[in-house]
Structure 1
Amino acid sequence: MSKTLLETAVHREELYHGKILHLQRDTVELPNGQTAIREYVVHPGAVVIVPILEREDGSWELVLERQYRYPVAKVMLEFPAGKLDHGEECLASAQRELREETGYSAAEWAHAGLFHPVVAYSTEFIDVWFARGLTAGDRDLDEEEFLEVLTLPLEEFLDQCRTGSVTDGKTLIAAHWLLQIRAGAWVPDWQRV
């Protein structure tokens, strides 16, 4: 890594400490010796799960959710997802979130990768997981969580992504990885769990 790009914190101040998000303001020393202010959100990280129902004819249906998202004042179509609990491993979080939100458990899991949705102002990362061999069960939603679970054929879901009906970033990233897997360009390393 080039030292000509590094910034070093010289002072750190917590502006807000909430239930999920923390707001931080750092004074940093720039590569040229000057100082600047960096304000950002500290987030514990999250997972998104792509649950695949494989049909006898070889087609795929995807388990999705509709949920009202207050900041954008819209009902969004999304893959199941959630934040990591303190000290929780990403796979354990993915398994928990899938079960709690949809009622499904999965026999096999494959890790797709990790991405940072907004590097300019947040430490958040989202770990992407694929799940198959699904078994339906009971949901266990949080008291303040209201969502609808639905299944869509792969092509119908992709059409909604293409037409702009799906605008959730983590769902669009997962759709990209899903396309690569379905096309055979990427081969997931499925693990029985």
Structure 2
Amino acid sequence: MDKPAFDHLIENKLSSTELFKGRLLHAFRDEVSLPNGAVATREYVVHPGAVMVVPLLEDSAGSLQVVLERQFRYPVGRVMIEFPAGKLDAGEECFACAQRELREETGYSASQWAHAGVLHPLIAYSTEFIDIWFARGLSRGPRQLDEGELLDVFTATPAQLLDWCRQGLVTDGKTLTAALWLQNVISGSWSLDWRDVL
């Protein structure tokens, strides 16, 4: 199949000005040339990227639950229901970050992992991407939360999670995306390529 041509949509950077550099966010204002010859301004945030893990717990009867977190998110002033997630450290591979975040935030380690895909949550103003991983074969250990990181870990059935999404109790974009992915995996519409991890 031939690759479609999208040259008529591409914008090209003319200049760039740094606006802010913090511990997490790095903001820029660029001037760009548009395909029609006009010049426009684009403000955006450079982000190191992140991972999200969908941890699956199965009991001896085969009943499935997911591991979730409740965490206060200061910018929106609310306690949010989320899947475990976190940003990449400098030079860190996505899979290593997924393993680390699951262990640190929930205390769980997983014997099987599957890469689901990538989410770009803020395409209008950020370079952030979130690598999505599924984990199963969970074993519990101690949590290793970062200093100042306060969160509750709990479990729910996929049906409960989807109902909370429908009710508007789950509004976090990455968790909504993961719930859609989970729903399709459970129904058999989407497959995952699981691999054992020692």
Q: Does 1:113 align with 2:122?
A: no
Query: Within 5 Å, which residues of 2 pair with 1:12-91?
Result: 12-91=16-95
Q: Distance in 2 between matches of 1:134 and 1:80?
A: 14
TM-score of the pair, normalised by structure 1: 0.98
Instruction: Note the residue ranges of structure 1 that are not aligned, 5 or more in a row.
Output: none
- Paired letter, 2:166: R
Q: 2:165 corresponds to which residue?
A: 161
Q: Does 1:185 align with 2:189?
A: yes
Deviation at 1:2, TM superposition (A): 2.1
Q: 2:14 corresponds to which residue?
A: 10
Q: 1:171 corresponds to which residue?
A: 175
Q: 1:123 corresponds to which residue?
A: 127
State the SS of the aligned residue for 1:33.
coil
Deviation at 1:34, TM superposition (A): 1.6
Q: Distance in 1 between matches of 2:95 and 2:108?
A: 15
Ranges of 4+ aligned residues in structure 1 off by more than 3 Å: none
Residue in structure 2 matching 1:133, options 137, 145, 167: 137
Deviation at 1:75, TM superposition (A): 0.3
Q: Distance in 1 between matches of 2:62 and 2:68?
A: 19
Q: Distance in 2 between matches of 1:48 and 1:109?
A: 12
Percent identity at matched positions? 62
State the SS of the aligned residue for 1:4.
helix
Q: Distance in 2 between matches of 1:190 and 1:25?
A: 42
- Paired letter, 1:166: V
TM-score of the pair, normalised by structure 2: 0.95
Q: 2:106 corresponds to which residue?
A: 102
Aligned-residue Cα RMSD (Å) equals: 0.8
Q: Distance in 2 between matches of 1:156 and 1:26?
A: 44
Deviation at 1:156, TM superposition (A): 1.4
Q: Distance in 2 between matches of 1:191 and 1:172?
A: 25
Deviation at 1:57, TM superposition (A): 2.0
Instruction: Note the residue ranges of structure 2 that are not aligned, 5 or more in a row.
Output: none
Count, aligned residues: 193
State the SS of the aligned residue for 1:170.
helix
